[in-house]
Amino acid sequence: MQLIDCFLEQGWQVTFASAANEGEHKADLATLGIAEATIALNHDSFDTFISALQPDVVLFDQFLMEEQFGWRVEKHCPHALRVLETSDLQSLRHARHQAVKEWLGGKPDADLTDCFNMPREQLFSRMAASDLALREVAAIHRSDLSLMVSDVEIELLVDCFSVPAAQLHWVPLLVRDVPEYDGAFEDRAHFITIGNFRHAPNWDAVLWLKNTVWPLIRAQLPTAQVHVYGAYTPPKAAALHKPAQGFHIMNWAEDALEVMSAARVSLAPLRFGAGIKGKIIDAMLCGTPTVTTPIGAEAMHGELAFPGAVACEAQALADAAVSFYTDAERWGQAQRDGRQLLLARYDHTRHCQALVARILALREGLAAHRLANFTGAMLRHHQHKSTQYMSQWIEAKNRNG
């Protein structure tokens, strides 16, 4: 939605096409003047649709969409700039997930300090051995431009996967207005954690919080409460609701910023993941310090102070959480650090202008840009052929019943 807002500000005409079913909390795109279209996977009706539309720029939502529709766009709109929105590197998240499983070795409370600080070469070796990385990085090479929310992942792609820097663009989550904070330290109460339960890193974080970190916090603050918010709450998550232990499963929040603004400290004990964390952006917007791991803090603050605390071990996370909950001065400093970070790193106007300028420059010099990307051309020649033939085979199979 932030990218769409950026495009609309330029007066660009935006068409949103999706093969997915409408979600329960779908945005009202029509009121924004956005045309909507339903498209089908493995079906030549998309060819008719895209040929009639003839867009100047096509944005793919993650690499699976580029795999499915990229070759069709190239065939029918060869002059359209193809942009991939990666969100985060799924292959990085997957590699870290597998590493955590191995590191834990069946011991849910094992020390993950070395795993969190894994050398980049070792991380690359884990990623490069996966089919997921082969597919995802191939899609990045094939695209004219890939949008990255994490500058750490840009460095990984350039240094380890030989992706040309000219094909990558850093555009993190964007903040239009940084508010003055409401509510003093003494007006806030309780801890909070928030995140979609369907997202594996969030579910793992909730389990680690419930079983390990939270008991350590309660040992120091016996009446403390944590409110756990998340969409798509499964029965296994609802079963964690234990009011007597101060652990409350609150389901989906109608307004994430409202509940975050009422809390005193945000907890994000993430043991694996990638990209940057919307929950930490929300906490900064609300003036709520965050206690997290190196995974949660990665690519969030650059050279600036993190607005909270970063720790690897459960006891260190618990101690930091208690400190921010009870120390008004430290709490206030974290709040000020968060505001400075939002202004310096996540400004909507600056990033939007840079993205638009990059897109327009690439459209002007698209032929030369593509000529310099021989690896991408080679991958499109081979991979798109196989993807095309598989898609056409599925289409023919479906047509013949």
- Range list of H helices, 12-89: 45-53, 63-76
Which residues pair with residue 169 across a beta bridge? 147
Q: How far apart are the C-alpha atoms of 40 and 70, rounded to whole Å? A: 14
pLDDT higher than threshold 80 for residue 183? no
Q: Does 197 lie in the same domain as 156?
A: no
Considering 304, 329, 346, which residue would you say is the last residue of a domain? 346
Spatial separation of the C-alpha atoms in residues 151 and 168, rounded to whole Å: 10
Q: What is the dihedral of CA 58, 59, 63, 65, to 10 degrees?
A: -60
pLDDT tens digit sequence for 17-35: 999 988 877 899 999 999 9
pLDDT at 365 over 80: yes
18 and 141 together in one domain: yes
Enclosing domain of residue 218: 185-346
- Report residue 156's pLDDT band, with 50, 70 and 90 as the boundaries: very high
Average pLDDT, the chain: 94
Per-residue pLDDT band at 109 (split at 50, 70, 90): confident
pLDDT band of 388, cuts 50, 70, 90 = low
CATH of the domain at 57: 3.40.50.2000
Same domain, 201 and 321: yes
Q: Encode pLDDT of 302-322 as tens digits.
A: 999 999 999 999 999 999 999
pTM here?
0.92
pLDDT at 387 over 70: no
Cβ pair 357, 365 in contact under 8 A: no
Strand order in the sheet with 145-148: 57-61, 81-85, 145-148, 168-170
| 98 and 193 both lie in a single domain | no
User: Domain check: are 105 and 242 in the same one?
Assistant: no
- Same domain, residue pair 288 and 335: yes
| CB 145 within 8 Å of CB 169 | yes
Count of structural domains within the chain: 2
Identify the helix (H) or strand (E) that includes residue 213: none
Looking at the fold, whether 209 and 109 belong to one and the same domain comes out as: no
- Domain co-membership, 245 together with 304: yes
Domain stop point among 346, 367, 385? 346
Provide mean pLDDT across the span 139-143: 96
Return the residue matching tokens 């389901």: 251
Q: What is the DSSP letter of 88?
A: S
| pLDDT surpassing 90 at residue 349 | yes
Same domain? For 164 and 201 the reply is no
In whole angstroms, give the CA distance from residue 367 to residue 306.
42
